[in-house]
Amino acid sequence: MARDPNRRHTIIDGASQLFLRHGYDGVTVDEICTQTHSSKGSFYHFFSSKEDLAIQLIDDTWDATQESLADTFSADKSPMDRIRDELVHAYSRSHTMDGRSRHMTGSPIGTLSVTFGNKSEKIRKRINFAFNHMRHTYRLTFTEAISKGDLDGSRSAAELADLLLVTIQGIGIIGRATNSRAKTRRLVDNLMSAFGINSSPSP
Domain boundaries in the chain? 1-47, 49-194
What percent of the chain is helix, strand and coil (3-state, nearest 5)? 70, 0, 30
Specify whether domain 1-47 bears CATH 1.10.10.60: yes
List Cα–Cα distances, 71 to 44, 67, 82, 83, in angstroms: 35, 6, 9, 12
pLDDT in tens, the chain (203 residues): 456 778 999 999 999 999 988 999 999 999 999 999 999 999 999 999 999 999 999 999 999 999 999 999 999 999 999 999 999 888 887 765 444 444 545 688 988 998 897 889 999 999 999 999 999 999 999 999 999 999 998 999 999 999 999 999 888 888 777 878 888 888 888 888 888 887 655 55
- CA 188 – CA 59 distance, rounded (Å): 28
- Give the predicted TM-score (pTM) of the model: 0.86
- Is CATH 1.10.357.10 the classification given to domain 49-194? yes
